[in-house]
Structure 1
Amino acid sequence: MSESRPRPQFGEYASPEEQRARIAEPIDEQRAEELGIAPVVPVERQPRQQQEPTLREQTREQAHEPGVMQPGAPTVAARRPVAGDRIATSILLGLGLVGLIVTMPGLLDLPGLIRPALVQMGVSGYSSDGLASAMGILALGLQIALWVGAIILSSRSLRAGRLTFWIPLVAGVAANLVVVICLAVAMGADPAFMEYVRSQQP
């Protein structure tokens, strides 16, 4: 059985409180007393402390709380190199410079350095002076390049606040290895020395 009255329009049977809440129209205290209902206050007019914070506000408040680390923010300790590391790096770079200065005369005259050593071993007549001179200059150039590279990399690493002492340490080991290889090539190319090596084999 259908009702004889027309179909209600939207909001026709709603209470005044529901209608005003729908259209966000406030109901003051005087009007609320007349209707016998509670006053309706829009959200934007509510006190700030009674409104629930939005997600952005919560994130901002949490980010500014003490002890909360910002993602991607570098720590203070990462920007400050350790004093002991700086001192060790400076000492190793200084030792590398001293070693470069000490070995420079011998590398510039590598044949004169090899010949007395072979005489003490009982080998005479070293004849690879040209190769020895080239190997000496090559070793000296590589040592200088390694030392300069160690200074540049160490300076950048210290400014970035990273551990640095290992850079001149590795450069020093590489420089000594270069000298040993160049010296071995210069001596191994001499026929008299190779004859001496073969004579020592059982």
Structure 2
Amino acid sequence: MAEEQSPDPAHPGHGCSQEDAEQERLLSYWQSVGRGHQVDVPRVHPFQTKWACIKMQEEQYEQSICLGFMKLMKYICEQNSSGLYLGMTIPIVTLVHTNESHSEITRSVTVAYYLPELLQEQPPQPYDSDIIIEEWPPTVVYTRSFRGVTNEDSIMREINFLAELLESPELCLQNIFIVAGYTNPAAANRHNEIWFLQRP
């Protein structure tokens, strides 16, 4: 069955012409900043969106994301109230938390699948009671791409690296981050991003 990949839900939407002009100005500014600092352009996620989420707490991060992804794939592949294949979207994201000293990530993570546009109004309900449909608020994220496996060490390294690159990391949430995956969690050379969430 062919997989449909929707646009990244964190990319900007369209508004009135004045707002578009302001967005273009900000985009140009951040592109120049990003080229010099290895930080991608902040993405504006202007609308509330629904995600299918599952919380995992395995011994290792890799185990949590693989098992969480497998459960979400069952939901996507017809184990839902519509009985239909929902279509694949990317990225699959994982919410991670750091401990109080910000020295390591905690075992509890949330793996999330963005519901396609056509299903946002009335998402099919999962048969698996561990999967919850959540509505996420509008936000701005600061991102940096990296490749390879994602584990406790690589995630903390990327969090610290992006914090050093940002001029004002204190403007972002300090204990919750997102790891966005654009390739299968089982792949060796994955395309990933670390996301910092701007404070509300």
Coarse TM-score class (shorter-chain normalised): under 0.3
After TM superposition, the score normalised by the length of structure 2 is: 0.23
For the pair shown, the structure with the greater C-alpha radius of gyration is 1
Instruction: Using CA pairs under 8 Å that are at least 6 residues apart, name the structure with larger relative contact order, 1 or 2.
Output: 2
More strand by share: 2
Q: Which has the higher helix share?
A: 1
